[in-house]
Amino acid sequence: MRAVAAVLAAFLLGPASHASEATSRVVIVTSDVDRFFALHDDPAVAANPDALAARYLADASPGLREFMTMRRITPERLAAALRDKPQVFADARGCAAKLGNVRARLVAATDRLAALYPPARFPPITIAIGRGATAGTANARGLYIGLEALCVAKCIEADDEDRFVHVIAHEYVHAQQPLAQVEDREETVLRAALTEGAAEFVAEQMTGSVGYPLLHIWARGREKELETAFLAEKDVKAIGSRWLYNQQGSDGWPGDLGYWVGYRVAKSYYQRAPDKAAAIREIIAMQDPAAFLAASGWTPGIAL
């Protein structure tokens, strides 16, 4: 079974990627994936909290330990996810087999970030198995990608390889942003949307695409209507709003539409800035969302 897991990791990020491996700028860690699938192949223990604790989580990489803390991954919650969503975890193996070019594309993207933003930090990227709830998150210490959750998130982007590259680039921008370093459950729609939108805009400069392109397709032709509604609701709490953190959305309204609005505000700021290099620095380093919005020149429905 160990050989099968090693092959999976090799497909995922290159021929020697089942351990930590330095690229030109970043370390990408997939050892947790290798260890999880060795356990997952034994159905008698795969959903057993004690087995998960002893054989997967106890030997977690530093990145997985951070991911566990940030997203409340416990043996009991992981076991429940394996019982409730078995196909999500089974499908992750096939998804990983489609990701052969991810490593090279991420190296190119981080090289581009270094050129765009010289103060950039390059913390490690940990790709692990979570509890099927978080595709990706980041802080200054690293990026943490839930392989199984990102594989199933076709509502973000249909192509598996593109989705991994663009979402990881988005999360890498979060590792640079002051606003992204502390989770604030009371944050407003405006703060959350501009934090996410800034990451979308810079990720596009890194890879040629935003992380959530289907939002742009859905919103095309409705810019003024949607953004007028956003402006009216910008000061409400982000959690529980229809703009962010609402999974796939409901009633024909997509999840995380605030990412799209925030992207358009960041793009407006960039387009009107005479010094584009300075604009990238200011977009990433933004700390006052209201002041940034006022300086952006954005208005609902603006042509960009």
User: Is 181 among the domain residues?
Assistant: no
Clarify whether residues 199 and 171 are in a common domain. no
Span 116-140, pLDDT tens digits: 999 999 999 999 999 999 999 989 8
139-184: pLDDT as tens digits: 989 999 999 999 999 988 999 999 999 999 999 999 999 999 988 8
- pLDDT band at 243; cut points 50, 70, 90: very high
Q: Which has more pLDDT, 65 or 98?
A: 65
CB atoms inside a 10 Å sphere around CB 75 = 18
Of 46-55, 94-103, 274-283, the range with the highest mean pLDDT is 274-283
| Together in a domain, 205 and 292 | yes
- Most confidently predicted of 21-30, 181-190, 290-299: 290-299
With vertex at residue 74, the alpha carbon angle to CA 72 and CA 75, rounded to the nearest 5 degrees, is 165
Lowest mean pLDDT among 53-62, 226-235, 264-273: 53-62
Q: Note whether residue 184 is domain-resident.
A: no
- DSSP for 63-84, written as a single string: HHHHHHHHTT--HHHHHHHHHH
With 50 as the cut, is the pLDDT of residue 17 above it? no
Q: What is the pLDDT of residue 1?
A: 33
Number of domains comprising the chain: 2
Q: Are 283 and 175 in contact (CB under 8 A)?
A: no
Prediction pTM value:
0.88
pLDDT at 24: 60
Per residue in 201-214, pLDDT (tens digit) is: 999 999 999 999 99
- 16 & 165 share domain: yes
Q: How far are the Cα atoms of 107, 114, 211, 214, 297 from residue 125, in angstroms, in the given order?
A: 11, 16, 16, 25, 35
CA distance 192 to 198: 10
Q: Are residues 131 and 231 in the same domain?
A: no
Expressed as residue numbers, the domain containing 209 is 189-296
pLDDT confidence of residue 22: 43
Examine the domain organization and report whether 25 and 84 are in the same domain.
Answer: yes
